[in-house]
């Protein structure tokens, strides 16, 4: 599976390392070039810009943002125009759930999927794994969907 990570602090970087060790192809971006370079040396595909990051991902894209709650909207404002219908954005930070509901509606209107995933694991997450608390739109099972006449 290919996976994109924006935000390479302790949690984001360790999530990329763990995914890479499991055989996943990770594309990474961070405002800190040394953080990107460090993970590129470990096998991730580093991107020097948000545009290069998005271009390196196959469609439909899976983008995980692991940034401070205070900069999620700013990150989404820069990222969303670069994405296409059916791409998925996962906010793995500690955003307030009302903000997540708003973001899901705004991004959904653009054809993008938004999932909020509270992530825990701290310094032991790399070795022991991460606890993921997932929230998002639940698609109705096929048998419950209206049929076209």
The sheet that has 25-29: what strands, in order across it? 45-46, 25-29, 2-6, 62-65, 88-91, 113-120, 131-136
Distance CA 60, CA 36 (A): 23
* Structural domain harbouring 6: 2-136
Would 142 be classed as within a structural domain? Answer: no
Q: Which residue is listed with tokens 């991107």?
A: 47
Q: 77-122: per-residue pLDDT in tens?
A: 999 999 999 999 999 988 888 999 999 999 999 999 998 877 777 6
- Cβ count near 121 (within 10 Å): 18
Would 145 be classed as within a structural domain? Answer: no
Q: 13-33: per-residue pLDDT in tens?
A: 999 999 999 999 999 999 999
Query: Per the structure, how many domains does the chain have?
Result: 1
Mean pLDDT of 63-67: 96
The model's pTM: 0.86
User: What is the model's pLDDT at position 149?
Assistant: 42
> What tokens does 114 get?
């938004």
Would 87 be classed as within a structural domain? Answer: yes
Is the pLDDT assigned to residue 147 strictly greater than 60?
A: no
Q: How confident is the model at residue 139 (pLDDT cuts 50, 70, 90)?
A: low
> What tokens does 53 get?
């990051």
Distance CA 74, CA 114 (A): 15
The CATH number assigned to the domain holding 110 equals 3.40.50.720
């Amino acid at each position: 599976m290919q996976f994109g990570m924006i935000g390479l602090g302790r949690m984001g970087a360790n999530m990329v390392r763990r995914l890479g060790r499991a055989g996943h192809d990770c594309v990474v971006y961070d405002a800190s070039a040394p953080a990107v370079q460090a993970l590129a040396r470990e096998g991730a595909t580093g991107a020097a810009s948000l545009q290069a990051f998005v271009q390196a991902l196959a469609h439909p894209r899976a983008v995980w943002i692991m940034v401070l709650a205070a900069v999620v909207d700013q990150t989404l404002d820069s990222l969303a125009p670069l994405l296409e219908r059916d791409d998925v954005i996962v906010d793995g930070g500690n955003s307030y759930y009302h903000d997540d509901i708003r973001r899901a509606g705004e991004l959904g209107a653009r054809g993008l999927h938004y999932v909020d995933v509270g992530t825990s694991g701290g310094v032991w997450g790399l070795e022991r794994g991460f606890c993921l608390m997932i929230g998002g739109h639940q698609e109705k099972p096929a048998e419950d969907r209206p049929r076209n006449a």
